[in-house]
Amino acid sequence: MADTPAGPLSHLRILDLSRVLAGPWCGQLLADLGAEVIKIERPQGGDDTRGWGPPFLADSTESAYYLSCNRGKKSVTIDMASPDGQALIRDLATKCDVVLENFKVGGLKKYGLDYDSLKAVKPDLIYCSITGFGQDGPYAQRAGYDFMIQGMGGIMSLTGEPDGLPTKTGVAFTDIFTGLYSTVAVLAALTKRDRSGEGQHIDMALLDVQVGVLANQAMNYLTSGKAPRRMGNAHPNIVPYQAFATQDGHLILAVGNDGQFARFCTLAGRPDLAEDERFRTNASRVANRAELVPVVAGLVAMRTTADWIAVLEDQAVPCGPINTLDQVFADPQVIARGLKQTLPHPQAGTVDLVANPIRYNEWPSVATSAPPTLGQDTAAVLGSLLGLSDDQQTALREKGVL
């Protein structure tokens, strides 16, 4: 049997000083793509998210939250507050291509682990800082958390029912997008470094990213001067494009063009709707949303979700159910695409994880190891990269450094 090819980033080593979600998400993605990612954690407790449960993985101390964003990494415990610990981290940085960190602005300077300090010992280092508001501006010193950034950055004003509370997304949307943008920024900086030899300090901010992914809604405001409002599951620019109640549940109807609308109307027994001047084009349907949506709702309510999906899919009218997560992971397409990955775990035996969704025809893009237990790789990493003997490591442990 041929050996599994190395991932596309197998030549890279990442020093991950981040914790919680945005930074770890970036590190996890780089690990999925083959990079060696060394996660530095406090000897006592480690990353805060290890304790963010329940639920916890059976027979382990690992929370589901921690498991969601740390697959494929190595865990090394070092006390950053001690001079010996700071020296070890600086030495590790010289062996790495990238440093990820999400401390408050200036928070690592007192440890000698800020960009300028590490650049002095490794000029071509790519150093990615992730904060709530960036390295400058009037809010730079504020702490930033996903929930509050969703509020400040506008997405909550667009999410929820018109007469209900502004609502955050069901996952930490801003943190995850920031992790993704940070990954793109790191890879671009590495590409430039490989041509020029130059290092780079990348300044990523949760608020910047949240504003950046407002997409068409931001342009709806910038183009019209009118701030969009919450519309529940409706779409501001397309009609009908929302969830409707069926006989036994709900259906997402996602009509994207006039032809799809005409086919829907025929299948619903109302072909006349597609000829009505109020509804003939998408622009007219948006203008006359209040008249059309109740009619469509009445039609959709006459059949079951499964019935609608069967007839609409047959005529290429986009639609779908609203699945719970047990239904998601039982879906035949999700199973076929291998989106649940099972890996060995030193405490629980095995752990089920979500697989990386990137697919290459030649390279792997999934984790080859489970999220590490706290300090699982300390001895191996410090021995192989820094040449520390067992006796030296024992002495450091006795001092509380490791």
Residues carrying an active site annotation: 175
Residue 192: Cβ-neighbour burial (10 angstroms; 0-12, 13-18, 19+):
middle
Name the percent of the chain in helix, strand, coil, to the closest 5.
40, 15, 45
Give me the long-range contacts of 307-311 (CB less than 8 A, separation at least 24): 307/246, 308/246, 308/251, 309/251, 311/267
Q: CA separation (Å) from 105 to 43, 48, 141, 176, 333?
A: 23, 20, 6, 20, 44
Separation of CA 200 from chain center = 23
Contact of 367 with 72, CB cutoff 8 Å: yes
Amino acid at 325: L
How crowded is residue 31: how many other Cβ atoms within 10 Å of its Cβ? 29
Strand blocks (E) in 57-188: 74-77, 98-101, 126-131
Q: How far is it, in rounded angstroms, from Cα 269 to Cα 17? A: 60
Residue 173: Cβ-neighbour burial (10 angstroms; 0-12, 13-18, 19+):
buried
Peptide bond preceding 54 in cis form (omega within 30 of 0): yes
Contact of 202 with 189, CB cutoff 8 Å: yes
Supply φ then ψ for residue 123, to 5 degrees: -60, -30
Residue recorded with tokens 């979700």: 305
H or E segment and range at residue 61: none
How crowded is residue 265: how many other Cβ atoms within 10 Å of its Cβ? 22
